[in-house]
Homo-oligomer: A and B are copies of this chain.
Amino acid sequence: MPDGVKNYVHLEFPSDPENVGVARVLVASFAAQLDFTLEEIDEIRVATSEAVSNAIIHGYVHSPGMVSVRVNLYENLLEIIVEDQGVGIEDIALASQPSFSTDPERMGLGLVFMDSFMDKLEIDSAPGRGTRVRMLKSPQQTAGRNRN
């Protein structure tokens, strides 16, 4: 395990739309180990959904492939890493602009949501080399929460 990682899960699946909801559920359930509010869990759900949807829709636009979701738990910090070995992004700065999309049917809001809903967003990508999205989030309230 990387330094300071207390627990983690690693999920891999083919780029089938059915798996977007499965990935969301996994990340939300794992995230419950930290004192996130329900609202924060909903934000994590959206950010995960956007990252995994992008891997499937954009990364594997030409041919299917594998998506990897790794979730690391640190002291009071959640790290989500979504990776594909798809087409990659030419210009990350351009792709990150609100409303920018290479798909005319889409809104260009995925990266905006990831950035807004998580504390930190990092994208590592190059044409033909696939894409790696890393997102971090800490619970905002430090008060104890009663877990089920």
Contact = CB atoms under 8 A, between A and B. Distances in A.
A63 to B, nearest CB: 14
A22 to B, nearest CB: 5
How many copies altogether? Answer: 2
B26 A11 contact: yes
Interface in A15-34: 16, 18-19, 21-22, 25-26, 29-30, 33
A25 B103 CA distance: 33
A12 B7 CA distance: 11
A66 to B, nearest CB: 9
A45 to B, nearest CB: 12
Q: How large is the interface on A (under 10, 10 to 19, 20 to 34, 35 or more residues)?
A: 10 to 19
Contact of A8 (B7, B13, B25): B13
A14 to B, nearest CB: 7
B10 A13 contact: yes
Given A7-B19, A9-B11, A25-B25, 16 more contacts: A1-B14, A7-B13, A7-B14, A8-B13, A9-B19, A9-B22, A10-B11, A10-B13, A11-B11, A11-B26, A18-B33, A19-B30, A21-B29, A22-B26, A25-B26, A26-B29
Interface of A: 1, 7-14, 16, 18-19, 21-22, 25-26, 29-30, 33
